[in-house]
Amino acid sequence: MSRFLDARTSQNASTAGSMNGVGLTANQNVLIGQIGLNTAGAAGPIRVQLNGVATFFVFSGGFITLTLFAVRGSVATDPVVASNRLQLNPGATTPTNTFPLYLIGSDYNPVPSAEIVYSLFVNSSVNVNRIGPESFNGCAYSD
């Protein structure tokens, strides 16, 4: 039977439009959420479930790639455990300029620790605005 170990939330913006268009510079990995999960003393394999969301306002234009990725650690170059990418051409394919990007992922059997840090980053191929919501959540379980 599974045993709940810990759960954390990193809430940057709770509602749609609440960030008032915070700029995101092209090709920059920007930290938008970070959690630390306590897994000390876990017996058996540890399973971590992660989910996150970020919403963007994209100006009309050409091809754009938005990426949301979670790492085990605190910097963008740490091991990626989950990612999602949205590729679009808002000037050609849709009448809206608001795009949510969701991340649902898992990390299987990390080393037990008093705190395993997970960080959520966002990246865009062009300058866009972050408008909210932005949230990052994680839960850890073991056998």
pLDDT at position 58:
84
pLDDT at position 94:
57
Domain 3-142 CATH assignment equals 1.10.1370.30: no
Q: Helix, strand, coil: what percent of the chain each, to 5?
A: 5, 60, 35
Q: Which of 74, 46, 56, 68 is nearest to 16 (CA)?
A: 56
Cα atoms in the Cβ-side hemisphere of radius 13 Å centred on 135: 14
Provide the residue count of the chain: 143
pLDDT at position 73:
98
Exposure letters 40-79 (e unless 16+ CB within 10 A, then b): eebeeebbbebbbbbbbbbeeeeebebbbbbbbbeeeeee
Burial class (CB in 10 A: 0-12, 13-18, 19+), 85: exposed
Q: Where are the domains of the chain?
A: 3-142
Q: Which of 8, 5, 30 is nearest to 137 (CA)?
A: 8
Taking the chain (143 residues) in runs of 10, the rounded mean pLDDT of each run is 95 89 93 97 94 89 90 98 89 71 96 96 94 96 93
